Structure 1
Amino acid sequence: MTETDREKFVRLANKRVNSAIKAIELIGNLSNRSNYDYTQEDAEKIFLALNRELKSCRERFKNAGGKRETKFSLK
């Protein structure tokens, strides 16, 4: 049986969104001050990068496509 485009979308969306949620949870773990040293500026940079990418993703769904390559670094 061949997978439809809808079935493929649902399968991949479930997998990728759950992976993204897990990655965000791991980023949240970095807030533990007894294990990590960071500034509020570092935290703001993280949230700005995440918000920017989420906004870009939302726009891609509105405009049906377009690929954007971004990398994040505190440096």
Structure 2
Amino acid sequence: MRDKRKKFVDLAEARVNRAIKDIRLIGNLSNRSAYEFGEDDIRKIFKALQKEMDSAKGRFGGDADASEEGFRLK
């Protein structure tokens, strides 16, 4: 049982840290001097992220609603 716990901890730490890094990179897109975007783009980005967060959280509670769709602004 300890091996399963260690594997979970190792993978969770690596994946969450990678997700945090990627979310910070998404935040970098807010630089209006480098990028052009509208409120609709922002809404779509955060709606997609929230949907995946809700889905992942639900899976810990037994819900098997895994989305395989990719994100597209167009």
Quick check: TM above 0.5?
yes
TM-score (norm 2): 0.91
TM-score (norm 1): 0.90
| 1:12 aligned residue | 11
| 2:25 aligned residue | 26
1:57 has 2:67 as partner: no
Greater relative CO (CA pairs within 8 A, separation 6+): 1
Q: Which residues of structure 1 form unaligned runs of 5+?
A: none
1-structure distance, mates of 2:40, 2:57: 26
Q: Quote the offset at 1:50 in angstroms.
A: 0.2
Q: Quote the offset at 1:70 in angstroms.
A: 2.2
C-alpha RMSD of matched pairs (Å): 1.5
Rate the CA distance shift 1:14–1:59 in 2: closer, same or farther, 3 A.
same
1-structure distance, mates of 2:10, 2:16: 10
Identity of aligned residues (%): 51
Q: CA offsets per residue over residues 37-69 of structure 1, 9 Å max, x none? A: 000000000000000000000000110756431
Paired positions, count: 73
Q: Which residues of structure 2 form unaligned runs of 5+?
A: none
| 1:42 aligned residue | 41
